[in-house]
Structure 1
Amino acid sequence: MKKRIAFATCVQLGLSCIEKIYRIGGNLDLLITLKDEKAKKKSGRIYLDEIANEHDAPLLKIDNINDQEVLSALKEYQIDWLFIIGWSQIAKKDVLETPKYGCIGMHPTLLPTGRGRAAIPWAIIKGLDETGVTMFKLDEGVDTGDIIGQGVIKLDQNTTATELYQKVDDMHITLIAKYWEDIVNNNITLTKQNELEATEWPGRKPEDGEILNSMSMDEADKLVRAVTRPYPGAFYKDGDKTYRIWSAKTNKEDGAIKLVDGYLFPIDFEVED
């Protein structure tokens, strides 16, 4: 019997997955997104009206994933699986248990490493050689559910958040295509996460992007690469002026330091006032 599947998202990562599902001949029985006026400044915020109309899919716009109208819709459409991808609100027990088989999410790290927030910036700031994306069955914890599958993404000393975000997007698409048939046929294998290896990464705010004179060349370089577009960008302050920095090129051969508005930095910047 065909599984009835719903998909909740409000960012590009989720929309990319939805587009891939339709490209490989899949079908979605319900789409869920935020109301138009909510999260307008969220990085990667998208709208599902066009793709819902194109594929004649019901579209529910909500304030919160745990609202009663979500539970009612999942029951009305007799949903077997609910994808919740690119969604910052944590689904509670009622939502997790309303679909017949449960809910599926993705997280842009190789779980159990890097549970939590700001996975793309942290991977660069921490200087990791590799990260990835994990597809997993959601439970009541934060990124603690059983793993369905993973894909590895390599990083180097030049990787930027812009590049990594695109690679993460591509890996979401790859995992959706790889496991879609297993999901609709209820043939997935679940692997428990090793709690002894679990790490948690905290959320980040725009003000965490400030470059300080006390930073080393390597620290400043990583920060600039980690919070460039689609994130708010690194910055430094000169009195009452703030300079936004989107890219940087270090000079490691002679340790040259560039003087920028009174600040000495071991780095060359693309600056935007």
Structure 2
Amino acid sequence: MRIVMFGYQTWGHRTLLALLESGHDVVMAVTHPRSEHAYERIWSDSVAGLAGEHGIPVLIRDRPDDEELFARLKDADPDIIVANNWRTWIPPHVYGLPRHGTLNVHDSLLPKYAGFSPLIWALVNGETEVGVTAHLMDEELDAGDIVLQRAVPVGPTDTATDLFHRTVDLIAPVTTGALDLIASGQTAFTRQDRSLASFFHKRSPEDSRIDWNWPAEDLERLVRAQSAPYPSAFTFHRGRRLEILSSVVSRGRYGGTPGRVFYREGDGVVIVAGADARTGRNHGLAITRVRTEDGRELGATEYFTSMGGYLTGRP
């Protein structure tokens, strides 16, 4: 099939690589300009660079809604558009142009976690599996019929980085498998159950700020979800920003006020957590490693030289 590829960052790069190795004819690539957004500097393999290496014409756009792009698409005469990590709305006259429409590849188990940063949100929320979905694009974002979907489990110590590496390896088989089904003439695919749908916004620094009213179990997952190279989860201690690099849920139960620097437990320092911490029924978050404002990384027992005081959401 003749394919136009829309994509960005490593997700788009892996998709284009899979298409190049699939035997299909990639006739054009459309990608975004490089961004300085914190989350878009991560996993930033270049779609434009890979396309250029293979002599594929490249268009760079923030949005795919101008007349020149549409004219170039019509001239390319694609059988299908394949998109992955395209960051803006694709209008119907574009996604509906090819004979087989547009196949979007998304790194979640749709209909859950449509939108942005699905792996991070899924890990924070304690999902037991994540994955990749190839679906046909329609007028609602990430809502079209599912052509192919694959899942991988989430382990008890997995970070978002672990899940990225595990799911990015699904892109090639999901993309090429879905194209094989479409090329075979199959047209009846799985409708999404919209009652199960959820849509998430882009991550920002505010989403990494620790709220000590959360249960310790949720905070421990937040720390794992904000693993390097993502911006770390953070709090404030004595008015200064403190990044939490690793933590575990405490063995013991600790009562008091959320955010209290309370007790040394093993290699960690326990912080009281949970909106109902006053009851004494909650586990705390045992911080094990931190990074200070000046960039020093320390074990928590080295950083917290005495107990007492509070970690807070603001300076």
- TM-score when normalising by structure 2: 0.76
* Alignment match, 2:105: 106
Report what 2:181 is aligned to.
Answer: 182
1:258 and 2:273 matched: no
Q: Is the 8 A contact 1:250 1:268 kept in 2?
A: yes
Indicate how the Cα distance of structure 1 residues 35 and 267 shifts in structure 2: closer, same or farther if over 3 A, else same. Answer: closer
Question: Is the CA contact (8 Å cut-off) linking 2:12 and 2:47 kept in structure 1?
Answer: no
**CA apart distance, 1:121:** 1.1
Tell me, yes or no, if the aligned pair for 2:270 and 2:287 is still in contact at 8 Å: no
Q: Does 1:269 align with 2:289?
A: yes
Match of 1:248 among 225, 238, 246: 246
Structure 1 match to 2:191: 192
Whether the aligned pair in 2 keeps the contact of 1:71 and 1:98 (CA below 8 Å) is: no
Q: 1:161 to 1:143 in 2, by over 3 A?
A: same
**In structure 2, what is the Cα distance between the partners aligned to 1:48 and 1:251?**
40
Unaligned runs of 5+ in 1: none
Q: Is the 8 A contact 1:49 1:59 kept in 2?
A: yes
- Root mean square deviation of aligned Cα: 2.4
Summarize the alignment of residues 1-273 of structure 1 with structure 2, pairs less than 5 Å apart. Answer: 3-36=1-34, 38=35, 41=38, 42=40, 43-187=42-186, 189-245=188-244, 247-250=245-248, 252-254=250-252, 256=265, 258=269, 265-271=285-291, 273=295
**Aligned residue type for 1:258:** V
In structure 1, what is the Cα distance between the partners aligned to 2:68 and 2:227? 37
Quote how far apart the aligned CAs of 1:177 are.
Answer: 3.1
> Relative CO higher for 1 or 2, CA cutoff 8 Å, sep ≥ 6?
1
Distance 2:65 2:37 in 1: 20
Structure exhibiting the larger radius of gyration computed from Cα positions: 2
Listed one character per residue, the Cα deviations across residues 71-106 of structure 1 (whole Å, up to 9, x for unaligned) are: 111101111211121111011212122223211112
- How much does 1:214 deviate? 3.3
Deviates more, 1:160-169 or 1:38-47: 38-47
TM-score with structure 1 length normalisation? 0.87
**2: CA distance, partners of 1:40 / 1:26:** 33
Q: Give the match's secondary structure for 2:224.
A: helix
Q: How far off is 1:254 after superposition?
A: 4.7
Q: Deviations over 1:155-192 (max 9, x none)?
A: 12211110111112111122023233333454454221
In the TM superposition, what is the alpha-carbon distance from 1:25 to its structure 2 partner?
Answer: 2.9
